[in-house]
């Protein structure tokens, strides 16, 4: 079958979007479309410019025999702020207020459109952090972790509170929960990670950071490196955080149960919290 | 800015892929690209044909004032079988065997590329089942549920074994675990679902089907309808399943701990298990 340029553009766009952060040799495309490399290069130039103009991401060309092209999902700061504003508005609705000053946000974590946008924001921020894997803790961190993982194209490992027979042999550590000061346990399957990997730790909510700190300690047991810490919602200012250098999407400034008001502000992600 | 056809094709492809099962009025495109509807229609014809030729999916045109275009992810039977074969080979590796005849598959559930392909297979099968939401149970079903949800563009609701303060008020039911015959509890946040929704129930593993049956009962408490049941790995033939009409991806035919062999066969999904 002979492919027209217009058809190649549609199919190559799909092909690249499905394989973020993956180096694709140009021969892959010339084989699929039975086209000369020069035509493929011209196609890629069009895709590259359109992706950049629309804030879809970058198309990075790696020259040489082992070279090819790589799609890096990257949003503009403006688009990231828009996603954040939408999320803040949604999260500030007073009917989210639960007894004890907690916020209901399970519906947002279960919404693939919302999570996908937020995943792309974090993948933008950590695009250059050489992330090999994403670590989170069951249960609510999982959709957030997978949303980022899809755009970074790396696996997710899930830490649990209890050991399961389906996990095989595990490594278990004790840690001190930041808020309640209780000793807790977290467990990770031994096969989950190889030593030397760079790991992004993520969770949907962080208060003092005890759980995050526990995951950091778990990394050491696996001889892995910390690539960064990502938090969806950070609790109102806490005197002493147990972790530093995290990137938060939004911050819960104040929750007033009496007036039923929720005040949410930007996290440190957009104006660039420091990366490690 | 004036858009060329080639640029429109790249951007429209991205736009459609990000919004599966969503009706997009043509005016959306003519506004974005400042182009006549006739040009947009021609673009869509090119995208439609390329998507169909490459097994990306269908582009359905809805005529009339309230009309537009809708992208339905659909894989060919051939592509679905390929994904299934890959998964079966991977899952049959003898080092996956755990004491007690269990299989280690956490790494596959954590791999976004693997899950994305499998999610598309199930989204293809349930594309016409009018699914409003996907229900699963914590923890391991979550990535599988989200992988399907992304292609059907519907929310995921997660049933838990225990009630959490961050879930608000909950509905709790008791059910009999199929294998152990023990009474267990499952809990779902009241806000998770509205009555009348059509729900696809999914889990990563099914033996007798006690958990699936529990989720079915939970649906009734919410006055929701069953749209289907999806299982990633089905255990070797069980005399009496508690649920019928499920779609399984693969079936664990035999696990031999002594010889360390695992025999995995196709589930009923590809050659079409009955839908409800």
Minimal Cβ distance to B113: which of A53, A99, A153: A153
Q: Which residues pair with B205 in a beta bridge?
A: B233
Max Cα–Cα distance, chain B, nearest Å: 69
Give A-chain residues touching B190 at CB under 8 angstroms: none
Report which of residues A258 and B59 the model is more confident about. Answer: B59
- Element spanning B203, H or E: strand B198-206
pLDDT above 60 for B273: no
| Reported ipTM | 0.95
Q: Which residues contact A85 (CB under 8 A, 6 or more apart)?
A: none
Q: Distance between CA A62 and CA A70 in Å, rounded?
A: 8
- Residues 126-165 on B with a CB inside 8 Å of A are 138-140, 142-143, 146, 149-150, 153-158, 160, 165
pLDDT at B180 over 90: no
Cβ neighbours of B156 in A, within 8 Å: 110, 112, 143
| pLDDT value of residue B272 | 55
Contact B10 A165 (CB under 8 A): no
Mutation pick from A16, A55, A142, A255 vs chain B, by most beta carbons of B within 10 Å, is A142
Q: Do A34 and A2 contact (CB within 8 A), yes or no?
A: yes
pLDDT on residue A144: 98
Cβ-contact B137, B211 below 8 angstroms: yes
Residue A97 at interface with chain B, using a CB cutoff of 8 Å: no
pTM summary value: 0.96
Q: pLDDT 10s digit of each residue in chain A, 276 long?
A: 689 999 999 999 999 999 999 999 999 999 999 999 999 999 999 999 999 999 999 999 999 888 999 999 999 999 999 999 999 999 999 999 998 888 999 999 999 999 999 999 999 999 999 999 999 999 999 999 999 999 999 999 999 998 888 899 999 999 998 778 899 999 999 999 999 999 999 999 999 999 999 999 999 999 999 999 999 999 986 778 899 899 999 999 989 989 999 999 999 997 654 433
pLDDT of amino acid A272: 55
Q: What number of C-beta contacts closer than 8 Å exist between A and B?
A: 155
Alpha helices, H only, chain A: 5-17, 26-33, 37-54, 77-91, 106-109, 112-125, 141-152, 210-221
pLDDT computed for residue B55 by the predictor: 94
Q: Please check whether residue B252 is in contact with residue B105, taking contact to mean a CB–CB distance below 8 angstroms.
A: no
Contact in structure between B103 and B255 (CB atoms under 8 Å): yes
**What is the pLDDT averaged over residues B134-159?**
97
| pLDDT at B275 (0 to 100) | 39
In angstroms, the first-to-last Cα distance of chain A is: 49
CA–centroid distance for A271 within its chain: 17
* Residue among B9, B107, B142 whose CB faces A142 most closely: B142
DSSP alpha helix (H) spans, chain B = 5-17, 26-33, 37-53, 77-91, 106-109, 112-125, 141-152, 210-221
Q: Read off the tokens for B219.
A: 């649906």
Give the C-alpha distances (Å, rounded to integers) separating B212 from A123, A254, B226.
Answer: 34, 40, 11
Of B1, B47, B139, the CB nearest to A139: B139
To the nearest 10°, report the CA torsion of B92, B180, B192, A110: -20
Return the structure tokens found at B30.
């003519």
Question: Which residues in chain A are classed under CATH 3.40.50.2020?
Answer: 77-266
Chain A hits for B10, CB-CB cut-off 8 Å, are 9-10, 13, 46-47, 50-51
Chain B's closest residue to A157, CA to CA, is B110
Which of B170, B139, B270, B159 shows the shortest CA–CA distance to B212?
A: B159
Q: How far apart are CA A126 and CA A94, in angstroms?
A: 32
Q: Is some CB atom of chain A closer than 8 A to the CB atom of B256?
A: no
The CATH 1.10.10.10 portion of chain A extends over 5-73
Mean pLDDT calculated for residue range B118-132: 98
Contact list, B14 vs chain A (CB under 8 Å): 13, 17, 51, 54, 56
> What residues of chain B lie within 8 A of the CB of A46, using their CB?
6-7, 10
Angle (CA) B112-B200-B66 rounded to 5° is 95
Confidence (pLDDT) at B208: 92
Which residues in chain B have their CB less than 8 angstroms from residue A159's CB?
none
B11 contacts A107? CB cut-off 8 A: no
Q: What percentage of chain B carries pLDDT values higher than 70?
A: 97
Is CATH 1.10.150.120 the right assignment for the domain spanning A77-266?
no
Give yes or no for residue B65 having a pLDDT over 90.
no
Burial of B27 (0-12, 13-18, 19+ CB in 10 A): exposed
Chain B residues within an 8 Å CB radius of A57: none
CA B230, B231, B235: angle at the middle one, nearest 5? 150
Whole-number percent of chain B with pLDDT over 90? 86
Class of domain B5-73: mainly alpha
């Amino acid at each position: 079958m002979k492919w027209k340029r217009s058809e190649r553009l549609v199919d190559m766009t799909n092909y690249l979007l499905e394989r973020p952060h993956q180096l694709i040799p140009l021969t892959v495309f010339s084989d699929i479309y039975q086209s000369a490399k020069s035509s493929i290069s011209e196609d890629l130039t069009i895709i590259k410019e359109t992706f950049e103009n629309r804030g879809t991401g970058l198309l990075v060309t790696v020259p040489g025999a082992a070279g090819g092209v790589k799609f890096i999902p990257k949003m503009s700061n403006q688009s990231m702020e828009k996603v954040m504003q939408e999320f803040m508005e949604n999260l500030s609705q007073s009917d989210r207020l639960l007894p004890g000053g907690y916020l209901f946000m399970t519906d947002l974590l279960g919404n693939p459109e919302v999570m996908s946008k937020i995943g792309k924001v974090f993948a933008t921020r950590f695009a250059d952090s050489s992330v090999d894997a994403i670590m989170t803790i069951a249960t609510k961190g999982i959709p957030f972790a997978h949303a980022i993982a899809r755009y970074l194209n790396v696996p997710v490992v899930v830490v649990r509170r209890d050991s399961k027979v389906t996990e095989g042999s595990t490594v278990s550590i004790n840690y001190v929960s930041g808020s309640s000061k209780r000793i807790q346990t977290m467990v990770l399957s031994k096969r989950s990670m190889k030593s030397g990997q760079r790991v992004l730790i993520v969770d949907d909510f962080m208060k003092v950071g005890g759980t995050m700190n526990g995951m950091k300690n778990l990394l050491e047991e696996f001889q892995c490196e910390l690539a960064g810490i990502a938090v969806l919602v950070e609790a109102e200012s806490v005197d002493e955080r147990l972790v530093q250098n995290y990137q938060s999407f939004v911050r819960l400034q104040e929750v007033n149960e009496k007036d039923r008001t929720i005040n949410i502000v930007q996290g440190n992600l957009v104006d660039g919290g420091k990366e490690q």
